[in-house]
Amino acid sequence: MEVFSTYILAVIETGGLLAPLLFISFHLLRPLFFLPVVFICITGGIMFGAVAGTLYSIIGITLSSIVFYGVIRWMPGTFDRLVRLKSKIIGKHSELTTSQVTVLRLVPFIHFHLLSLCLIEISTSFRDYTKASIISNIPLAFIYTSIGQWIANLSPLYISAFLIILLPLIYALRRKEVIIKWQDFFQVST
């Protein structure tokens, strides 16, 4: 996956005028490669800056949401299975509002299209879904693209200092208990 993402970044960087189009299409291909939306948005901030990267990410994420809407409406059996899965994860009687979906989209480990499914359930039409999708995608694209630009503007000295501080912190926050099974602790010598 790392080699693939490096290859895609190289293609987009050398794309010239087609780079924004390639970047937006990469948002559409993202679900096929199981890449997180956050990774793509940060990449957009590194490559295009905060303003252009945010705009391209909003377009790409919204198009991805629209494609998801079309695919899920085309396959009603899959829609029913996803709704049952969502009810197991979130709860049977809970409906998220657009504001809640917007906040949850900022959490990197929550599945993007699960939240799109929540928007489909609360929307009355395709237009309503698209509006809610755009509203919930703007903060996601802005925040993570800004983080990408911030990373791109850091000097190697600051990045090294950050990593040197981060490594002891990771060590200090490790799991400090060891579980030894009863049979392993009290081994019978033969």
Q: Is the pLDDT of residue 92 over 80?
A: no
**Helices 112-122 & 50-74 angle (0-180, nearest 10):** 60
Range ranked top by mean pLDDT from 9-23, 130-144, 154-168: 130-144
Q: Is the pLDDT of residue 1 over 60?
A: no
Each residue's pLDDT tens digit, 113-124: 888 888 988 899
- Asked if residues 57 and 143 have their Cβ atoms less than 8 Å apart, the reply is no
Specify the pLDDT at position 38: 87
How far is residue 6 from each of residues 3, 12, 39, measured CA to CA in Å?
A: 5, 10, 12
- Asked if residues 176 and 73 have their Cβ atoms less than 8 Å apart, the reply is no
Give the closest residue to 115 by CA, choosing from 98, 127, 130.
98
Range ranked top by mean pLDDT from 83-87, 128-132, 185-189: 128-132
Q: Is the pLDDT of residue 66 over 90?
A: yes
Each residue's pLDDT tens digit, 97-117: 888 888 888 888 788 888 888
Q: What is the average pLDDT value for the chain, to the nearest integer?
A: 82
- The mean pLDDT of 137-154, rounded to a whole number, is 88
- The mean pLDDT of 66-88, rounded to a whole number, is 87
Q: Is the pLDDT of residue 6 over 80?
A: no
* pTM summary value: 0.72
- Asked if residues 66 and 130 have their Cβ atoms less than 8 Å apart, the reply is yes
Specify the pLDDT at position 12: 60
Specify the pLDDT at position 33: 81
Each residue's pLDDT tens digit, 161-187: 877 887 777 677 665 666 677 777 677
- Asked if residues 130 and 30 have their Cβ atoms less than 8 Å apart, the reply is no
Specify the pLDDT at position 67: 94
Return the structure tokens found at 103: 């906040």
The distance from CA 18 to its chain's CA centroid, rounded to whole angstroms, is: 24
CA 172-176-182 angle, 5° bins? 170
* Banded pLDDT at 46 (limits 50, 70, 90): confident
